Structure 1
Amino acid sequence: MEWLAMARHGESVGNVAWREAETQRLEEIDIGLRDPDVPLSETGRRQAEALGRRLAAMPPDERPTVVYSSPYVRAAETARIALAELDDLPVRYDERLRDRENGALYALTWRGITARFPEEAARKRLTGKFYYRPPGGESWADVALRLRSVLAEIQREHPDGRVLVVAHDAVVVLTRYIVERLSEKELLEIERTLVPNASLTLWARKDGELRLVTSNSTEHLDAADLPA
């Protein structure tokens, strides 16, 4: 590929509910939706518009030629809103780009996990974040496996393309793990830094390989006076 860019979805109502749960020291976030159905907040929609303006400001021969997205509502909405600035470039949805599945632990804060599933909290501490798989859910290694599949397919189909992917924080971080050939230790160090909503991480081809150009870039949000 000429370049590959990963954009995290804009702020979702789930992100808002999570912050409220942490502030109030709750065991569970008040969301009432399946993870695939969680939509953007009003701030998230404005962030997606700002992302679109950034993409539209690129010279025509540097803009995305193809766009992929997670089918989860918050990502799909971000892609739709952003691409309205680019004459509605078609989006290809792929379930392999979905967020990490937390299974029985979905919507629980760490406080909730330790209170309701103390044995799982202990197992996670022992196993470590990368390989721990919650009941009915996925480990980070599981997500990396499906990402390797979809990224290889994208490379085969668009060998000279400029590919934009709209997805989730775990997908962004694990794409760095795959593309940059990171170790588990390096991945977990990177993961300590939050991937901001509607941020852009981009790799460009150099000497036959994709090299990181920018990570977690939010200059378009700063220009619009929006939170990251």
Structure 2
Amino acid sequence: MAELQWLGVIRHGQSTGNVLAQQAEAGGLEEIAIPERDADVPLSELGREQAQAVGRWITGLTAEQRPQVAVVSPYLRTRQTAELALAGTGIQVVYDERLRDRELGVIDLLTTRGVEARLPLEAARRRRLGKFYYRPPGGESWADVLLRLRSLFGDVRAAYPGGRVVLFGHEAIVMLVRYLVEGLDEASLLALARATALGNCSISSWRCDGQRLRPERFNDVDHLHREGAPATRQEDVSADV
């Protein structure tokens, strides 16, 4: 199967859920008061500015550099990011539920403190199993998300051999795309996650050297600074909203 020429993945812009999650963690609360279901959390005003800045970065690319197709998570914050970033570009858009955010099950809407206080057995199980394999009841582990990403990658490579594809996804999706493309192991991925505060509307990308995809950029937010849209970085909390 022919390798892609270029692969990019863009995290959605700041969402209203990101703001509420950060406030809840900073305030020592147990619960994140997000009124919408996860799939319906919208962008904040800053998130919209960030998405428009991505759009200006895309339009500044040459025809040979610009993505040919965008594969987008169907969650509202991700759809809005893609719509604003791709407006007027003519880039083909495909929605695929395999790019949706990790499902958190019983720990959804709980802060780190909330999980410890309300679900101490789950907190202990998460510490014992580790982030990669821990699956909250009713939710997914990172390994579960990887199963759907492997399926997606196979389909994308088959549909667009030698093509330029950009994904619009979520915090966990960005980290796990890197795991897949670069062939990382569990320890390397977890070390990367501990060291990285992933930026909203950050761009990560890989370019084919003739044989395989090689890293080009990771968690890059320079385009936001150039376009006057403040970068926001999300520390790893229970919910990536």
Aligned to 2:53: 50
Q: Once the 2 structures are TM-superposed, how far is the Cα of residue 111 of structure 1 from its aligned partner? A: 0.4
Aligned to 1:101: 103
> 3-state DSSP class of the match of 1:79?
helix
User: What letter corresponds to residue 62 of structure 1 in structure 2?
Assistant: Q
Q: Once the 2 structures are TM-superposed, how far is the Cα of residue 227 of structure 1 from its aligned partner? A: 2.4
> 3-state DSSP class of the match of 1:60?
coil
Distance 2:161 2:32 in 1: 42
Q: Once the 2 structures are TM-superposed, how far is the Cα of residue 61 of structure 1 from its aligned partner? A: 1.7
Distance 1:69 1:194 in 2: 22
Equivalent residue in structure 2 for 1:223, among 218, 221, 226: 226
Distance 1:148 1:174 in 2: 10
Aligned to 1:81: 84
> 3-state DSSP class of the match of 1:91?
strand
Aligned to 1:40: 43
Distance 1:126 1:187 in 2: 17
User: What letter corresponds to residue 123 of structure 1 in structure 2?
Assistant: R
Distance 1:218 1:160 in 2: 26
Equivalent residue in structure 1 for 2:114, among 112, 115, 120: 112
CA contact (8 A) 2:74 2:97 kept: yes
Aligned length: 227
TM-score (norm 2): 0.92
Equivalent residue in structure 1 for 2:31, among 17, 28, 38: 28
Structure 2: segments with no counterpart, 5+ residues: 232-241
The RMSD of aligned alpha carbons is 0.8
Distance 2:88 2:203 in 1: 16
CA contact (8 A) 2:59 2:89 kept: yes
CA contact (8 A) 1:69 1:167 kept: yes
Q: Once the 2 structures are TM-superposed, how far is the Cα of residue 20 of structure 1 from its aligned partner? A: 0.7
Consecutive aligned runs of 4 or more in structure 1 exceeding 3 Å deviation: none
> 3-state DSSP class of the match of 1:212?
strand
Match status 1:212 vs 2:215: yes
Distance 2:124 2:197 in 1: 24
Aligned to 1:15: 18
Structure 1: segments with no counterpart, 5+ residues: none
Aligned to 1:189: 191
Aligned to 2:62: 59
